[in-house]
Amino acid sequence: MANQIGNYSLFIALIASIFLIFQSYRLTRNSSKNLDSKIFSVLSVQSLMVLISFISLVFAFIVSDFSNKTVYNNSHTTKPLFYKISGTWGNHEGSLLLWLLVLTFFLFIFLINSKNLPKKYRLLTLTFQEVIIFGFLLFILFTSNPFINLFPIPKEGTGLNPILQDPALALHPPILYIGYVGTSIIFSASLAALVCGNVNKVWASHIKKWIIISWIFLTIGIMLGSIWAYYELGWGGFWFWDPVENVSLMPWFCLTALLHTIVVLEKRNTFKSWTIILSITTFSLSMSGTFLVRSGILNSIHTFANDPSRGVFILCFLFFLIFLAIIIFFIYQKNISNSSIRTYLISKETAMLVNNWFMMFFLSVVLIGTVYPILLEVINGSKISIGPPFYQKLILPFLIPFLLFMAIGPNLKWVKDHINKIKLEQPIFLFISILISYLFTTSYGVSYLFSVPMFGLGFFLFFLTIRDFFSGKSTLSQKIAHFGFSLFILSILFNGVLAKEYSSNMKVGDERKFMNKIIKFENLKITQELNYQSLTGEFNISDDRGNLNLKPEIRIYNQPKTLTSEADIISTIYSDNFLVFNVLKDDGYYNVRYQHKPLMIWIWLSVILIFVGGILGYFKKK
């Protein structure tokens, strides 16, 4: 039943989409003031239909309806209810349905919230957004339909990949998708604004809300994924430059750049074309993210479901949208009135522009590092991978000037400022920061050619952002976000320099010495849970300052039969103690990895601060 309901509602949504594309486009030529009520009701029907089909899929997962192929492939009766529900978007078909759901609902909210904007602009946004919705509906219905019937009906499903059975990962896809899909509204709205010729201050302050919303969700989504990889994959770090991670970082760079230019557009009415270009790029990157992850092209160690024919469809659709956007941009570019307000070199505008340059540089590094292996494989068939050193080497040195500009920029005035106005306190702060980092690097024996300026500017930004809380000229949201970023950089740096790792193969009762610590494998407990068997190791780590008991776990899931290991992490505000163990084979040895990660928790906390800044920016009064 649920299958038929879901399937038919998607077809109705498809018809609604075709109607909306033509009707809304036709009405842009009509001069009446109000939106046609017919459009609104059709749109409501469409959103409702997509919602119904999504709910019927969730329902099929909850009741374990194995006549549905998606449910059969990704669920199991013994799975806890929470993971039955999250299993809905833990697979390709379901996650696309979620994309679609967010797409239609964002459009709905957009139309409700834009009542005081020109009718033509709203209708055109609707048209563009419906083109995207139409493409996704076609994609879902014809290449990845979540409502395929199975007959005879299997008794039991094959289960969800156990590493996906995790609270952080249950929330990660929906949140990331809200961020991704939010960029689609920005894309449609920018094209519409371009066609209508209203790329101006009013439009900027309206679209800024959408940019902030997408940016907040993208930031949280990336963070959740990163936390998950930290404890569930047992990678024991916060970023691995894995292609799947990179793909979510690229739109983030672009969106962050956009977040800054839109402020310039709002306040100073310039950077118009650039804003439009950034909007188009951001959405293209979000789409290619979906394409790269879903097509299975990425040679990543954590790509899940994939199928090449789907990839081809998304690729064609992506090219179509980019092509459409470029054509519209070149035809209507003359609509952008270039304000001839003069801007001087030393000004806030320049500072924002500098931010954008850096974002574009980081973006190109990550883009090339991610795409180059794919290109090379297509061209000459050789398989390569690009490791973390590539990114670190190219990004870290550029962080030095980036941090400097980030510290100074926010306090510059619009239009024109003077260099001689920089007070004595800034050089003093800089001097103190460099001194601290010099003392630190020498006392820890870190090679300091590079570390001194890195740490120094990290501290410089840290001090200046703290000072700005008392005397700064910019908004509170900016201050919090930048302060969070300085904390972020410092925690990464300290973490990177001071982290220690030890791994060994141990039997129960074994003891190992590492630095000044003694790691003891005390006991192993076996318990039976609902859908897995658990081996819990009891480890004791002692040094002159005390004792830590860590209990990592190995889970042997029955359906599908898979091992996962759950790291045990003791987090304090000073450091994380991370221990994970793995079974190798039945010879009594366990592969144990212990990591001491100073300031690890501050990486997550600082990201939270950064998006708190975003949230404040969203609720800021005019």
Report residue 190 as tokens: 């920018």
415 binds other proteins (CB under 8 A): no
Handedness of CA 472, 477, 478, 483 (dihedral sign): positive
We find the least distance from the C-beta atom of residue 398 to other proteins, in angstroms, to be 9
Closest CA to 498 of 579, 575, 388: 575
Among 5, 124, 233, 250, binds other proteins (CB under 8 A): 233
Question: To which H or E segment does residue 562 belong?
Answer: strand 562-566
**Binding flag, residue 387, other proteins (CB under 8 A):** yes
How far apart are CB 350 and other proteins at their closest, in Å? 12
Q: Does 301 interact with other proteins (rule: CB under 8 A)?
A: yes
- Classify the phi-psi angles of 535: left when phi > 0, otherwise alpha if psi is within -120 to 50, otherwise beta: beta
Looking at 386, 408, 434, 476, which residue binds other proteins (CB under 8 A)? 386
CA distance 394 to 474: 31
Residue placing its CB nearer to other proteins in the complex, 402 or 429 = 402
Q: How far is the CB of 366 from other proteins (least distance, A)?
A: 10
Distance between CA atoms of 450 and 618, rounded to whole angstroms? 38
What is the size of the binding site for other proteins (CB under 8 A)? Answer: 46
- Residue 274 is a binding residue for other proteins (CB under 8 A): no
Select the residue interacting with other proteins from 220, 351, 506, 519 (CB under 8 A): 506
Q: How far is the CB of 464 from other proteins (least distance, A)?
A: 26
- Single out the segment in contact with other proteins by CB under 8 A; choices: 22-30, 261-269, 279-287, 298-306: 298-306
Q: Out of 163, 192, 193, 325, point to the residue binding other proteins (CB under 8 A).
A: 163
CA angle, 337 then 339 then 340, to 5°: 135
Among the listed residues 134, 79, 88, 126, the one whose alpha carbon sits nearest the alpha carbon of residue 107: 126
The Cα–Cα gap between 399 and 389 comes to: 15
**CB of residue 172 to other proteins, shortest distance in Å:** 14
| By the rule CB under 8 A, 593 interacts with other proteins | yes
- State the Cα–Cα distance between residues 395 and 375, nearest whole angstrom: 22
Q: Which of 372, 431, 469, 574 binds other proteins (CB under 8 A)?
A: 372
Query: Of the listed pieces 124-132, 136-144, 282-290, 389-397, which binds other proteins according to CB under 8 A?
Result: 389-397
Residue 385 is a binding residue for other proteins (CB under 8 A)? yes
CB of 589 to other proteins, least distance (A): 4
Q: Would you count residue 297 as binding other proteins (CB under 8 A)? A: no
* Options 294-302, 323-331, 417-425, 529-537: segment touching other proteins (CB under 8 A): 294-302
> Which position among 9, 53, 356, 565 is part of the footprint of other proteins (CB under 8 A)?
565
Residue with smaller CB distance to other proteins, 216 or 579: 579
What's the sign of the alpha-carbon dihedral 464, 467, 469, 472? negative
Among 303, 335, 350, 534, binds other proteins (CB under 8 A): 303
Nearer to other proteins, 19 or 361 (CB): 361
Shortest CA distance to 274 belongs to which of 376, 194, 362, 206? 194
Residue-wise DSSP of 211-278: HHHHHHHHHHHHHHHHHHHHHTS---SS----HHHHHHHHHHHHHHHHHHHHHHHHHH---HHHHHHH
Beta bridge partners of 568: 579
Nearest residue to 205 (alpha-carbon basis) of 610, 612, 621? 621
* Window of 120-128, 492-500, 536-544, 590-598 that interacts with other proteins by CB under 8 A: 590-598
Among 4, 113, 339, 364, binds other proteins (CB under 8 A): 364
Q: Which residue, 51, 170, 148, is CA-closest to 100?
A: 51
Question: Taking contact as CB under 8 A, which single stretch among the options 93-101, 172-180, 383-391, 598-606 is the one that binds other proteins?
Answer: 383-391
The single residue among 82, 320, 357, 431 that binds other proteins, judged by CB under 8 A, is 357
Query: Which among 253-261, 284-292, 297-305, 415-423 is the span making contact with other proteins, rule CB under 8 A?
Result: 297-305
- Per DSSP, the three-state class of 345 is coil
Two tokens, residue 211: 């940019």
Rounded to whole angstroms, what are the CA distances from 151 to 1, 2, 66, 619? Answer: 14, 15, 9, 52
The CA dihedral of 146, 147, 152, 158, to the nearest 10 degrees, is: 20
Nearer to other proteins, 271 or 317 (CB): 271
Q: How far is the CB of 394 from other proteins (least distance, A)?
A: 5
Identify the DSSP state of 149: B
How many CB atoms are located within 10 Å of the residue 87 CB? 28
Minimum CB–partner distance for residue 163 and other proteins (Å): 6
Q: Per rule CB under 8 A, is residue 560 in the interface with other proteins?
A: yes
Pairing of strands 562-566, 553-557: antiparallel
CB atoms within 10 A of CB 308: 10
Q: Tokens 């209708």 — which residue?
A: 123
Stretch binding other proteins (CB under 8 A), from 89-97, 270-278, 296-304, 604-612: 296-304
Is 143 an interacting residue with respect to other proteins (CB under 8 A)?
no
Nearest to 111, CA basis, from 199, 35, 20: 35
Please tell me whether residue 369 binds other proteins under the rule CB under 8 A.
Answer: yes
- The reply to whether 234 sits near other proteins by the rule CB under 8 A is yes
- Among 368, 415, 466, 497, which residue sits at the site for other proteins (rule: CB under 8 A)? 368
- Choosing from 152, 381, 389, 445, the residue that interacts with other proteins (CB under 8 A) is 389
Choose, by CB under 8 A, the member of 13, 170, 365, 457 that binds other proteins: 365
Q: Does residue number 381 form part of the binding site for other proteins (CB under 8 A)? A: no
Residue 426 binds other proteins (CB under 8 A): no
Q: Which of 592, 600, 609, 610 binds other proteins (CB under 8 A)?
A: 592
In whole angstroms, the minimum distance from the beta carbon of 503 to other proteins comes to 4
- The DSSP-derived string for 31-100 is --SSPPHHHHHHHHHHHHHHHHHHHHHHHHHHTT-TTBHHHHHH--TTS-HHHHHHGGGSSHHHHHHHHH
Q: Which two tokens stand for residue 58?
A: 């969730």
State the minimum distance, in angstroms, from the CB of residue 360 to other proteins: 9
Q: Which is nearer to other proteins, 474 or 505 (CB)?
A: 505
Asked whether position 562 contacts other proteins by CB under 8 A, the answer is: yes
| Count of Cβ atoms closer than 10 Å to residue 38 Cβ | 12
**Residue 580 interacts with other proteins (CB under 8 A): yes or no:** yes
Q: Where along the sequence are the contacts to other proteins (CB under 8 A)?
A: 161, 163, 233-234, 299, 301-304, 357, 361, 364-365, 368-369, 372, 382-387, 389-390, 393-394, 503-506, 510, 560-565, 580, 582, 584-585, 587, 589, 591-593
